[in-house]
Structure 1
Amino acid sequence: MTPFIQACIKANEEISSALQNGFDTSWFEKTEVGAGGDISSKLDLFAEEIFVKHLSAFGKIESEESGIIGEGEEQIIIDPIDGSANALSLFPFYGTSVAKVNAEGILDAAVVCNLANKDIFFKSSTCKVQQGKLFSNTFHDPHSSEKAEIGLFEKAYANPELVAALDKEKLKFRSPGAIALSLAYAHTVNYVLFMGEFRIYDFAAGLALCEGLEVIVEADYVIVSKEKSIAMQIESLINKL
Structure 2
Amino acid sequence: MTDFIQACIKANEEIAKALEDGFDTSLFEKTVVGAGGDVSSRLDLFAEEIFVKYLASFGHIESEESGIIGEGESKIIIDPIDGSANALSGFPFYGTSVAKVNQDGILDAAMVCNLVSGDIFFKAESKEIQQGKLFSTLFHEPSVVPNAEIGLFEKAYANPLLVAALDTQGLKFRAPGAIALSLAYARTVKYVLFMGTFRIYDFAAGLALCEGLEVIVEEDYVIVSKEKTVAQKIEQLIIEKKQ
Same topology, TM > 0.5? yes
Deviation at 1:128, TM superposition (A): 1.0
Q: Which amino acid letter does the alignment assign opposite residue 220 of structure 1?
A: D
For residues 1-241 of structure 1, the aligned pairs below 5 Å read 1-241=1-241
Deviation at 1:108, TM superposition (A): 0.3
Q: Give a deviation string over 1:45-78, Cα, whole Å, max 9, x none.
A: 0000000000000000000000000000000000
Secondary structure of the 1:187 match is helix
Under a length normalisation based on structure 2, what TM-score does the superposition of the two structures give?
Answer: 0.99
Q: Which amino acid letter does the alignment assign opposite residue 176 of structure 2?
A: P
Partner Cα distance (1:193, 1:224) in 2: 7
Partner Cα distance (2:69, 2:41) in 1: 18
Partner Cα distance (2:88, 2:32) in 1: 16
Q: Which amino acid letter does the alignment assign opposite residue 111 of structure 2?
A: V
Structure 2 gaps, min length 5: none
Secondary structure of the 1:192 match is strand
Deviation at 1:20, TM superposition (A): 1.1
Deviation at 1:147, TM superposition (A): 1.1
Partner Cα distance (1:138, 1:120) in 2: 11
Structure 1 gaps, min length 5: none
Q: Which amino acid letter does the alignment assign opposite residue 195 of structure 2?
A: M
RMSD: 0.4
For these two proteins, the number of residue pairs brought into alignment is 241
Q: Give a deviation string over 1:179-205, Cα, whole Å, max 9, x none.
A: 000000001100000000000000000
Secondary structure of the 1:144 match is coil
Q: Which amino acid letter does the alignment assign opposite residue 193 of structure 2?
A: L
Under a length normalisation based on structure 1, what TM-score does the superposition of the two structures give?
Answer: 1.00
Partner Cα distance (1:119, 1:88) in 2: 20
Q: Which amino acid letter does the alignment assign opposite residue 121 of structure 1?
A: F
Secondary structure of the 2:166 match is helix
Deviation at 1:7, TM superposition (A): 0.1
Secondary structure of the 2:90 match is coil
Q: Which amino acid letter does the alignment assign opposite residue 123 of structure 2?
A: K
